[in-house]
Structure 1
Amino acid sequence: MTLKRITDAFSTFIDLVAEAVLALGALLHASGTTRLVEGPDGSFTLEGAGDTPAPPPFRLDASPLPPGLAAALKEQEVELALQPGHFLFRPLELPRRAGEFLDGIVRAQIDRLTPWNAADAVFGWTAPAPLGDDRIALTVAATARGRIAPLVEAVKTLGAKTIAVSTLPVGADAPIRVHAHTTAGTPKPARVRRILTGTLAGAGLAALLALLLADVAGGSLDRELDDLNRQIAARRLVLTTSNGGEAGRALATLERRKHEGAPTVLVLDALAEVLPDHTFVTEMHVEGLKLQVMGVSQDAPALIRLMEQSRRFTRATFFAPTTRAAEEAGERFHIEAQIRTPFGGTP
């Protein structure tokens, strides 16, 4: 995408937003429009002036104007409803997709549809009506800018806030607005457009500044984090070295005991592989590489031989007398043995 396309897209976006803002403002502030309706003889009547008594019909190009007219129009939104005889009407058919770009299309064809070019004419169009074959139809109304300029200037001198010029074609249901003017000096769309552009530019600069500050702050935080990690690594090295004092020796001892001790679950599993089915273990103790196991068996002496033959245990011996109780179906034994590798080294 070229720079020109990006610029055009941004300009179109700003125009659409400006129109939306103006439409919303008009909706929020709409308090009724004062209408000056032109009659067939060129005289005007006042409509929608609220409690102000309406003057008799008058001409805007005559002097003096009716008393109280200036008070009725001051700071008001005024619509000049002109007779259709002032305007030239031309039908126009377009593809349906052209409905999104009517302003530019109609403006480009004014010199073909009328005797005037776009700069010398005021114009408007009806709402597009759908046709067959994916097309739309509308009617363009146009007149010379110089024809309505005296009327707009006369209403402007009476203090109107905004002035809109419209006409109602014969047989039409809705008027066509051909011109809008504000007495604030600068057309409203242009003013809103400048405000929006300035706001977006300010927001962009603020975002850029925030990114720069975040980059600087992030770099500083990264450096501090690296510092902390180096300090932690150095402290760990001191604690784990053999010359690290009492704390280092204690840590080394715990680490050695963790690797030299036999896991109780694995010892119990190995013991279950060695003992026969008629033997039941009631108590077991593991301390380092030393195992003590107590229980009941129908052949207690054979257990010593079985444990000695196992790859898991060595130096098996009774550390208490073997006894037999009347209510038990076997001999109660107390055996002590050393645990072999892979759980840990033999002493």
Structure 2
Amino acid sequence: MKQFETIGAVLKAWVGSVAAAIIAGFDRVVSPRVVRLIEDEQGGFAVEAAKSDNLPARLAFADGAFSAPNLGPVLKGSRVEIVLQPTRFLFRPLELPARASDFLEGIVRAQIDRLTPWNASEAVFGCSAPVESGTESITTVIAATTRKVAMSYVQAVSGFYPAAVAVCTDVAGRNAGRVKVFEQKARGHLDAARLSRALLIALGIAAAAALLSAMAATYIGNDLGTQEGELALQISKWRAAIRSGSDGDRSPIAALERRKHETPASVLVLDALSQILPDNTYVTELHLAGNKLQIAGITRDAPSLIPLIEQSRHFTRATFYAPTTRSPSDPGERFHIEARIEPKNTANP
């Protein structure tokens, strides 16, 4: 179980890193306009933005709300950075080992109740960029305040539908620059937690699909292998039977030979008829069905054809299967004769 928990933790951390990288890349490509609200000593806010069209020069903050004309179009869809006075924050310098620079936020969160009067759920905090204070140590400045203070300004701005809201402060007196202590992205924009869950779901679906594909491929491969083996066995048996020819009359070669001698050859039947029938006889119809021959045509003496056909060793049981007729337009008698074929497969009469 511990191994699965470890794998899950590593996977979750990896997915979180991927989500953060995706969000960072998206923000670099599609970055909203930045509007800064900088608090002065009187509690008002100066407005800074890249484009100053229709921007109010100063905002008043009273009763938890900002007031200024045309403020909605300015803040909607923008990234709003609220820079509060340092007097609203508690600052603590912190010295850590140099290897802790990659885990700075987690370390501070674990010790926030020792560094400030509040616990992790009550406080918002940020850390300045670490500065080397020795060969193996770094120094950072922690800026912290209560979540209630930060959220009062965030909620006042959220009604104007910004893309993101950040709360910052300046610690220039400590050479730490500006520190961000809180950030909230508006609903509908990329969020690290939701994106991580979506990536985990997609990864799970991909893993399940890969497993099903592997199982299907194994099953189909085994089934095809079995069929291939059966076909190879049957082919081997037929080849052995053909090579040996030891199955007597039931062998394939014997069956082919028997069919060759038992089936009358059409060419030889026509050749035999051409030698039997006299020159004054004309065949207009000929039908071969198995070992039965039927011919129809015109001749001067129809009854004389029966003995001629019977005398040939190719035909037996010659008889008329329809009446012999004669019309004024015919040059002779119209006959219909059928006979049994004796397949000799030879051209000699």
Work out whether the TM-score is over 0.5.
Answer: yes
CA separation of 1:116 and 1:64: change in aligned 2, threshold 3 A: closer
**Counterpart position of 1:217:** 220
What are the within-5 Å matches in structure 2 for residues 12-91 of structure 1? Answer: 12-48=13-49, 50-61=51-62, 65-91=67-93
Pick the aligned partner of 2:152 from 135, 150, 153.
150
2:128·2:176 contact (CA, 8 Å) conserved in 1?
Answer: no
1:86 is aligned with what amino acid? R
Q: Tell me if structure 2 keeps the 8 A contact 1:84–1:170.
A: no
| Whole-angstrom CA distance in 1 between matches of 2:8 and 2:159 | 39
Aligned to 1:332: none
Pairwise CA distance, 1:105? 1.0
> What is the DSSP-based 3-state SS (H/G/I as helix, E as strand, rest coil) of the residue aligned with 1:216?
helix
Change (3 A) 1:49 1:61: farther
The structural deviation recorded for 1:239 is: 4.5
1:97 aligns with 2:75: no
- 1:79–1:232 distance in 2 versus 1, CA, 3 Å: same
Shift of 1:8: 1.6
Cα distance in structure 1, aligned partners of 2:68 and 2:216: 66
Preserved CA contact (<8 Å) 1:94 1:135: yes
SS at match of 1:210: helix
Give 1:21 deviation, angstroms: 1.6
Partner-residue secondary structure (3-state), 1:212? helix
Task: Give how far 1:61 is off.
Answer: 2.1
One of 192, 202, 207 as aligned partner of 1:189: 192
Partner of 1:116 in structure 2?
Answer: 118
- Counterpart for residue 227 of structure 1: 230
Q: Deviations over 1:257-286 (max 9, x none)?
A: xxxxxxxxxxxxxxxxxxxxxxxxxxxxxx
Letter of the structure 2 residue corresponding to residue 42 of structure 1: G
**Superposed, which structure 2 residues align to 1:244-255 within 5 Å?**
none
Give the Å deviation of 1:187: 8.3
Equivalent residues of 1:89, 1:140 under 8 A apart: yes
Tell me, yes or no, if the aligned pair for 2:60 and 2:68 is still in contact at 8 Å. no
Q: How big is the shift at 1:231? A: 2.5
- 2: CA distance, partners of 1:31 / 1:157: 17
Q: What is the distance in 2 between the residues matched to 1:226 and 1:61?
A: 86
Cα gap change, 1:186/1:48 in structure 2, threshold over 3 Å: closer, same or farther?
closer
Per-residue deviation, 1:64: 7.3
Secondary structure of the 2:36 match is strand
Aligned CA distance change for structure 1 residues 246 and 143 (closer, same or farther; 3 Å): closer
- Quick one: distance in 2 between partners of 1:186 and 1:26? 10
Contact 1:34 1:79 in 2 (8 A): yes
Residue in 2 that maps onto 1:5: 6
Q: Deviations over 1:50-106 (max 9, x none)?
A: 252331322222677111112211121111111222111111122222222222211
Helix, strand or coil at the partner of 2:187:
coil
Q: Does 1:129 align with 2:138?
A: no
Give the SS at the match of 1:2: helix
Per-residue CA distance 1:274-308 (angstroms, 9 max, x = gap): xxxxxxxxxxxxxxxxxxxxxxxxxxxxxxxxxxx
Give the number of aligned pairs.
248
| Residue pair 1:43, 1:60 contacting (<8 A) in 2 also | yes
Runs of 4+ in structure 1 deviating by more than 6 angstroms, as ranges, are: 244-247
Q: Is the 8 A contact 1:49 1:72 kept in 2?
A: no
Which residue identity lines up with residue 200 of structure 1 in the other structure? L
Q: Secondary structure at the match of 2:93?
A: strand
Tell me the CA shift for residue 47 of structure 1.
1.0
Structure 1 residues 94 and 117: alpha-carbon distance in aligned structure 2, compared to 1, 3 A threshold: same
Deviation at 1:195, TM superposition (A): 1.0
C-alpha RMSD of matched pairs (Å) = 2.5
Q: Check 1:115–1:222 CA distance in 2 against 1; reply closer, same or farther (3 A cut).
A: same
Name which of 165, 168, 172 aligns with 2:167.
165
* Matched letter for residue 43 of structure 1: G
8 Å contact from structure 1 (residues 181, 187) kept in 2: no
Q: Given that residues 101 and 130 in structure 2 are in contact (C-alpha distance below 8 angstroms), is that contact kept between their aligned partners in structure 1? A: yes
Identity score, percent: 36
Deviation of 1:210 (Å) = 1.0
Q: What are structure 1's unaligned runs of at least 5 residues?
A: 248-347
Asked if the contact 2:47–2:59 (Cα under 8 Å) also holds between the matched residues in 1, the reply is no
Structure 2 residue 180 is the aligned partner of structure 1 residue 177: yes
Instruction: State the Cα distance separating 1:9 from its structure 2 match.
Output: 1.5
For 1:162 and 1:31, locate their aligned partners in 2 and report how far apart those are by CA, in whole Å: 9
Given residue 221 of structure 1, which amino acid in structure 2 is its aligned partner? L
Q: Distance in 2 between matches of 1:160 and 1:222?
A: 62
**Partner secondary structure for residue 60 of structure 1:** strand
Q: Deviation digits for residues 289-332 of structure 1, max 9, x if unmatched?
A: xxxxxxxxxxxxxxxxxxxxxxxxxxxxxxxxxxxxxxxxxxxx
In the alignment, structure 2 segments of 5+ residues that lack a partner are 254-349
